[in-house]
Amino acid sequence: MVAPQPKRRAPDDIRPMPPAKKKKSKEKKKICRCKPTCGKPLSYKQRRKHYTNSNPDTAQPALSITSSGTSEEEHNNSDSDNHQSTGNYSSSDIASESDVAPDASSESDAHSNVPSSDDDGSELGDIDNDNLIGPPSEDEQTVLDLERELDQADNDDDEYIHTEHMLTDEERDNIRAFQLRLLANMPRASFNFMRHAFRHKLKISSEWVMLHRIAKLSGIEPKFYDCCAKNCAAFTGEWLQEENCPICEDPRYDDRGKAKRVFCYISLIDQLRGLYESKKMAKEMLHRSGYVPTGPAVISDVFDGALYLKSLRHRVVIQGVKQDHKYFDGPRDVAISVCTDGFLLFDRRRSGPSATPILCQNYNLPPTIRTHSENLICVGVIPGPNAPKHMGSFRRPLEDDLIKLAGPGVSAYDAHVEREFCLRAYQLFELGDIVAAEKSLGIKGHNGYCPCRSCALTGIRDVEGNGKVYYIPLRAPDGHPPTQKPRPNPPNLPLRSHRSFQRALDKIDAAETTTEKNNIAKAKGIKKPACFGAVGLIDYGKSVPWDWMHLFLENVIQNLFKFWRGEYKGLDEGEQSYEIAPHIWNDIGDETAAAVENIPAHFVRVLRNINTDRSGFTAESWCFWFIYLAPILLRGRFKETKYYKHMCKLVTIMKTSLKYSLTSEELDILEADIIEWVRDYEKYYYQYRSERLSACVLTIHGLLHVVDDIRNCGPSWTTWTFFMERFCGLLKRALRSRRHPWANLTKRTLHLTMLNQLKYRYDLHEELSLPPTDRRNRDEGVRTRNENEFDDYPEHILLTPCIKRYAPDANLRAQIAYYWHILTGRGKTRIEPLLPKNMASWAKVRIDGLKTTIRSSSAHNTGRDASFVRYENRYEDEDGEQINVIGYGQFVRALVCTLPEKPIFDEYSGKTRLLAVVIPCNTRGKDARNELVKYKENLAPLVMDIRDITALVGRVKTRGKWYILDRFDAAVPTFGDKGEMEQDNGLEDDDE
């Protein structure tokens, strides 16, 4: 009988190995000595797996267990060490998602019953045959051979060494199979059936062997940390040796001596090293060093922001100690941001279990790919069921990595130049929604007396109404007791700085009583140190920008919508009249739902009846509805025009803040517009009345800091968190286990990370590419049989259906002749007989420059209408000046017109032109990007060069008139990643 193992503390920063679970078995157990730290009582099968992965220099024969429960060696020598495991988990300790079955006992069980691998992945060596009965199985021998091949890559001093291990065909097949099971969410039974069905062609290893191989090849070694079962905190740092949760006093271990819950950290250092081992990615990582800053005159990326430009002049500071090198003085130094955000599991929307990913965005990559899901760096998913109360304890491993990367750096290998270098990385920003940012900074946040994280403006509460929530309007309510200091007005707000944070924390530390500490925390709005910022590059007052998505789309717009419907926190109209009648909202909802079929899917994906079905409205839906549809659908529907103008001014502000690049002059204008809009907002909705203070929520005040954030951090699109919403959606869709969801999410994240690292380290971009059914997953220049490309039109691809011998009617031939008459100046009647009788007619055109496809009405498309376009005709007037005429119309077909070799056609003789047939709308030359454009009738068909088509547009019909929806060119058009839709995480930013 084996003596029960006592509950022990973790000896270092890695959590202790849980005690082995006892199983009822008649098989005799022995003390395993595969490595000095093992000492587990194991059966024959378990010992054979251990010895398969052991180091021959340290492996010793197993010992029999005496009747007293000790080994023979312990019985003979009572002073010998007790060989109990305190080793680290390796990456192979994580099983696949399907391993977390509903009948599993706990998260810890999901790890403890999986075969472990030694850090020194070495060969088996000479082991006593009495302890390994019979030779290893075929699968185990495969692992054994792999360990021997990779033994040269391991280092006892834990230094990084680049290896040139070449993958075999079998290994590549196994990696492909692993990706298939992971991305397709394939159940284990289906996976095993696939292995059996293709056994005559492919040798796909068992799941255990496959995971072991991939864990070794990927170079990822996760670390597990115990955490509170209620997710209050993780047992790291000063709490490493605690037996109970320091916040809720809940025991750390269960009755079996196992941690109740664990947090898995995936090393940032390992993932950055893997990026540089890919020739393709190492070249992409040179974006930062090759970028030429243009700030502050023009801000186009984070590297034009004041924070980055200032950092280039200063030496690195780590925990108050200056280093010898400067920030970003190396061409390969990495700039990242860290984002945290919680999401509810199982499609919950209001309450329930949650999880919190920690994502890093890599700014060294070009903006076009840096937010793609495969390029995001996830270092862990904080388990639930609740949001973490002490974020710093979970962020401690990441902070340790950032300190190491900022100080001495780590050794890495650059596959692009084929040499080793010192890798350093620095955190530029801390991203997240309003609540996440407040937790990361350790401030009181919304509803506090000093709630803003960017300035120290104090709040006002409704004293007469016994209100307890503080709001921060620009102007105090009428009749409010006067204060000694007048309220500052923008742009002269009392901005916070890094020093102001430090001074407040110093005062709190110096306070002697709890009451004094609480009073200081209330006055300053700061209650505890931030969970990040050990490296001096971080400025607490400027490095946490307001997220554009949560600020505008999740709060400001939806609050205005509630005001217009009379549903905002029980407030009536007061002295204003901004509400819209319910019957009008019925019409607006119907018009919104009906507009979907006339709006291309490239514009917006989800759009429902906004009056009756807002549950499906995502942030993207709110953005599109407010910017494009609201100015049309709400026009003339307010009782007074001033509310409509106020709404349109916010639309202009959003459009400007969405631009890819902003000049200093544009930022000055934007700042003035925002200040004016906020003042009008308070005038219309707050009305300077104490009982209406709830209209002045923190998000309205946050608008005043948008321009400062752009100046400091870069354009809004560089710091918004759409990528986090998409990542949370990917995790939610892959979630299978309801009993142990957090272990399921951890495994999913770890396996995705391993897959990415395999792609980087072994140049598997081709093997692990997604199916080419979607053109966005195909390489540029690759065409299918349904695509036709012409030499003079590299960006215009003609798509089927096609009528190869289409005969234009007389009217269309006259229009084609008129087109050539304009180009050549020759007579129309002379040109028309010379035109070819038959031309190829194509129903679809893809314009690669616009990243969209135009579909004519003849394409037999049953989906949404994508046939209306914007075209621009350019010609010279009598004075020789260029005239640009903008028009809108419906694309009918594309014609391939090959002219005969006749002198009448001059330089066009024998040439092929792609002509577009368009039915124009009578819009009178107006530009829908700058003003509302409506029409009632169409004009006669026109023929033009297909290159004159400059954009795909949509339409919306309201009150019997059609309006054109034309997206502005200078702003960020979409928020998705390769067609993915951002997901609502279910955790709203409550203003109260």
Two tokens at 131? 């302890």
- Please identify which residue in the block is written with the tokens 């220099």: 57
> How many C-beta neighbours within 10 Å does residue 237 have?
14
- Please identify which residue in the block is written with the tokens 């620009």: 474
Strand, coil or helix: 495: strand
Examine the pLDDT at 593 and tell me if it is beyond 90.
yes
Measured in degrees and rounded to the nearest 5, phi and psi for residue 299 equal -110, 115
961-965 vs 934-935, strand pairing mode = antiparallel
Q: Are 21 and 2 in contact (CB under 8 A)?
A: no
Average pLDDT over residues 419-435: 94
Examine the pLDDT at 784 and tell me if it is beyond 90.
no
**CA distance linking residue 431 with residue 439, whole number of Å:** 11
Examine the pLDDT at 395 and tell me if it is beyond 90.
yes
Q: What is the pTM of this model?
A: 0.81
Question: Would you state the pLDDT for residue 788?
Answer: 84
**CA distance linking residue 727 with residue 730, whole number of Å:** 5
Report pLDDT digits (tens) over 447-497: 789 999 999 999 998 888 888 889 999 999 988 777 656 677 888 899 999
Examine the pLDDT at 339 and tell me if it is beyond 70.
yes
Q: How far is CA 285 from CA 84, 398, 403, 414, 741, in A?
A: 44, 21, 21, 10, 35
One-letter amino acid for residue 617 of the chain: F
Q: Are 163 and 152 in contact (CB under 8 A)?
A: yes
Question: DSSP letter string over 245-271?
Answer: -TTT--BSB-TTS-BSEEEEE--HHHH
Question: Would you state the pLDDT for residue 800?
Answer: 86
Mean residue pLDDT of the chain comes to 82
Examine the pLDDT at 15 and tell me if it is beyond 60.
no
The percent of residues in the chain predicted with pLDDT above 70, rounded, is 80
Nearest C-alpha neighbor of 498 from the set 462, 465, 538, 469: 538
Report pLDDT digits (tens) over 364-386: 999 999 999 899 999 999 998 88
Nearest C-alpha neighbor of 212 from the set 117, 334, 328, 326: 117
Residue 810: is it exposed, middle or buried by C-beta count within 10 angstroms (0-12/13-18/19+)? exposed
| Cis ω before 385 (30° cut-off from 0) | yes
Q: Are 140 and 49 in contact (CB under 8 A)?
A: yes
Examine the pLDDT at 732 and tell me if it is beyond 50.
yes
**CA distance linking residue 114 with residue 95, whole number of Å:** 7
- Please identify which residue in the block is written with the tokens 């079996």: 256
- Please identify which residue in the block is written with the tokens 């259906």: 801
Report pLDDT digits (tens) over 882-908: 778 899 999 999 999 999 998 888 888
- Please identify which residue in the block is written with the tokens 């997901």: 983
Residue 915: is it exposed, middle or buried by C-beta count within 10 angstroms (0-12/13-18/19+)? buried
Average pLDDT over residues 499-524: 92
Listed as own residue / partner, the contacts of 188-191 with beta carbons closer than 8 Å and 24 or more positions apart are 188/96, 188/98, 188/99
**Residue 659 DSSP code:** B
One-letter amino acid for residue 808 of the chain: P
Question: Would you state the pLDDT for residue 188?
Answer: 87
Question: Would you state the pLDDT for residue 56?
Answer: 63
> How many C-beta neighbours within 10 Å does residue 802 have?
17
Nearest C-alpha neighbor of 891 from the set 925, 861, 866: 866
**CA distance linking residue 420 with residue 418, whole number of Å:** 7
Strand, coil or helix: 597: helix
Q: Are 936 and 962 in contact (CB under 8 A)?
A: yes
One-letter amino acid for residue 923 of the chain: T
Average pLDDT over residues 860-872: 84
Longest dimension (CA), the chain: 114
Q: Are 336 and 377 in contact (CB under 8 A)?
A: yes
Two tokens at 33? 């000595």
**CA distance linking residue 497 with residue 877, whole number of Å:** 58
- Please identify which residue in the block is written with the tokens 């194509």: 842
**CA distance linking residue 543 with residue 330, whole number of Å:** 22
Nearest C-alpha neighbor of 28 from the set 46, 50, 40, 44: 44
Beta strands in 332-472 (DSSP E): 334-340, 343-344, 354-362, 377-382, 410-414, 419-423, 425-431
425-431 vs 334-340, strand pairing mode = parallel
**CA distance linking residue 388 with residue 438, whole number of Å:** 13
> Which H or E run contains 680?
helix 664-681
Report pLDDT digits (tens) over 932-988: 999 999 999 999 999 999 999 999 999 999 999 998 664 544 333 343 334 444 443
| Cis ω before 222 (30° cut-off from 0) | no
> Which H or E run contains 871?
strand 868-876
The percent of residues in the chain predicted with pLDDT above 90, rounded, is 55
Most confident stretch, 74-78, 173-177, 461-465, 955-959: 955-959
